[in-house]
Amino acid sequence: MTASVRDRARAWLAQDPDDETRAELSALLERVEAGDEDAADDLTDRFDGRLQFGTAGLRGELGAGSNRMNRVLVAQAAAGFAAFLKERDPDGAPTVVIGYDGRRNSDVFARDSAELFAGAGLRTVLLPRLLPTPVLAFAVRHLGADAGVMVTASHNPPNDNGYKVYLGGRDAGSQIVAPSDADIAASIRRIADTGSVADLPRSSDYEVADEAVVEAYVAATAAVGPAPEGATGTRWVYTAMHGVGWETFSRVLEAAGYPAPTLVAEQIEPDGSFPTVAFPNPEEPGAMDLAFAAARASDAEFVIAQDPDADRLGVAIPTRDGDWRRLTGNEVGLLLGRRAARAAAGTPGASLACSLVSSPGLGAIAQQHGLGFHETLTGFKWISRAPGLVFGFEEALGYLVNPGTVRDKDGISASIAFLELATEARGRGATIADLLDELAAEIGFYASGQVSVRVDDVAVIATVMAALRTAPPTAFGDTAVAHADDLLQDPAGLGGDVLRYGLADGSRIVFRPSGTEPKLKVYLDVRGDSAADSAARLAALEQAVRELLDRIA
């Protein structure tokens, strides 16, 4: 550990307004001075770098230091973002709206931001209480704001938090993209390098939005899929995964006319410690176990889960042997895409969009209904900008079903759209499994899978990607690689740290580091002659990928 790291830590301590992180850092510095090598390593990790804007703005572990989420870092981010907005509109008075969820310190970070934005001369609107991310995304457009900030780490581990940024005006309420992300990061860095956050001007002269904003979101979302006649008597289970979704979702359900679900009581109230799940993400093994238990006890027809900030939707259905299985994000995305395509058929310029790691089946749906199709980089900051968009999704349980009001993934509006699908099918005696069979009969038997490798050291991911570039695979198992794309070379105008392989049998493999978690993700897509054939192809492909990773990791 260098002396400069200790100097940065002491300077950070001098400006930290938070008693908890001050005590944490003071104790760590004392251990360093006493010669504790573990403490020295910890201090270096905290201060030898800064959290950087990524796929969703800032996101990281709570704690003291420039490489953690804390009040100093958030103050720098807020002041830097305010300076960026004023430079973007030097003759106006930018408006920014702020939302926050139920994670630890979300409310503190939101109020700090409100005071700093107001102190910088921005018109600042703070949402009235903890609310889902989609409500904030909606509010940016509904209020005509120039920008929005949502304090959330979405589905990350319990000790994480984050700072997600949206832009209004010409960006239409979407998340930030280049060059704005780099400009904001540079503005934040200038604030961090030029003084103490204790000297930044603050003001309590900010507005607290009234309930009309939430009511407008509820009305717009209920209109996405009003309950059909088949909804009566539907038996289903809902979990909020210890997040903030239920209060708003329950109001939308009532307005749309759907029957109330059986609730997973242990997970229905916001709780930032997430006591019943290791990772509060419907994709994670075990996260929906309590929902499955409630579904068995209530003889439910399906389960709907939202992640902690309610911007993602998970669905599960019963199997023929009485067990439960989660639908993949691709399965849900294709069902919702088919729904949107049918509604938009014949509309000039209408299009569907998905990320490049999501199922190519959406392109088949678009073609079948005479719609445009766009494949984008991962993240709804890209999907939401697709021309003529009527529906977009990515396989990580994100769905955009109402782009006219929310330019981001929205687990609540997606839940309403899915409820409409499920209850319409119920009205004609069909199940969700039947809908999947109908879809396969129309577009073919697509199957998707994922190999996800979580690491303690993110450098391992870079090592694996470098190894793949140095010695590109020529086959996966017995199937030859027909073509390969390295998106760092930007062959299709996309860019990004992504490797994509097309195999001789039409299968596809994509390697990509996660933008929000310490994971390497490998996405697998096949199309078979039958459900059994596609399942066999997928299993063989997964085995080949795992064998490759074992050799190079």
Q: Where are the domains of the chain?
A: 1-48, 69-210, 445-552
Can you give the pLDDT at residue 178? 85
Parallel, antiparallel, or unpaired: how do β-strands 147-151 and 160-167 relate?
A: antiparallel
User: What is the homologous superfamily of the domain 445-552 according to CATH?
Assistant: Alpha-D-phosphohexomutase, C-terminal domain (3.30.310.50)
Q: What is the DSSP string of 348-406?
A: TT-EEEEETTS-THHHHHHHHTT-EEEEE-SSHHHHTTSTTEEEEEETTTEEE--TTT-
Query: Taking the CB of residue 268, how many other CB atoms lie within 10 A of it?
Result: 18
User: Tokens 């299709």 appear where?
Assistant: 492
Active site residue 154: yes
Q: Which residues of the chain have pLDDT under 70?
A: 1, 53-56, 490-495, 516
Asked if residue 15 lies in contact with residue 31, where contact means CB atoms within 8 angstroms, the answer is: no
Q: Contact 535/467 with Cβ under 8 angstroms? A: no
Mapping DSSP to helix (H, G, I), strand (E, B) and coil, where does residue 105 land? coil
Beta bridge partners, 399, equal: 393
Question: In this predicted structure, what is the pLDDT of residue 320?
Answer: 87
Q: How far apart are CA 40 and CA 44, in angstroms?
A: 6
Residue ranges of alpha helices (H) inside 120-222 are 133-142, 180-194, 212-222
Task: Report pLDDT for 343.
Answer: 97
Give CA–CA dist 376/96, Å, rounded: 28
Report the b/e string of 192-230 with b at 16+ CB within 10 A: beeeebeebebeeebeebeeebbebbbebbbebbebbeb
How many whole angstroms separate alpha carbon 204 and alpha carbon 359?
A: 48
Closest listed residue to residue 306, CA positions, set 259, 260, 249: 249
Contacts 24+ apart (CB under 8 A), 282-285: 282/155, 282/241, 282/306, 282/307, 282/312, 282/313, 282/314, 282/326, 282/397, 283/155, 283/314, 283/326, 283/329, 283/396, 283/397
Sheet containing strand 302-306, strands side by side? 262-263, 236-239, 302-306, 313-318, 324-326
Three-class DSSP category at 186: helix
Taking the alpha carbons of 291, 150, 174, 128 in that order, is the dihedral positive or negative?
A: positive
Structure tokens at 70: 């804390």
Classify burial at 52, counting beta carbons within 10 Å of its beta carbon; exposed 0-12, middle 13-18, buried 19 or more.
middle
| pLDDT tens column, 387-399 | 999 999 999 999 9
Between vectors from CA 467 to CA 464 and to CA 473, what angle results, nearest 5°? Answer: 110
Distance CA 99, CA 137 (A): 9
Site of tokens 């507005």: 207
Residues 293, 98: Cα–Cα separation, whole Å: 37
Residue of 154, 174, 415, 514 marked catalytic? 154
Please give, one letter per residue, the 3-state secondary structure of 211-244: CHHHHHHHHHHHCCCCCCHHHCCCCEEEECCCCC
- Partnered with residue 351 across adjacent β-strands are 372, 389
Give the CA diameter of the chain. Answer: 73
pLDDT tens profile 450-484: 998 888 888 899 999 999 999 999 999 999 999 99
Non-local CB neighbours of 298 within 8 Å, separated by 6+ positions: 235, 237, 262
Q: pTM higher than 0.75 for the full model?
A: yes
Residue 493 has a pLDDT of 54
- Residues written for the chain: 553
Q: Could you please state the CATH topology (level 3) that the domain comprising 69-210 is classified under.
A: Alpha-D-Glucose-1,6-Bisphosphate; Chain A, domain 3 (3.40.120)
String of DSSP letters for 34-52: TT-HHHHHHHHHHHSS---
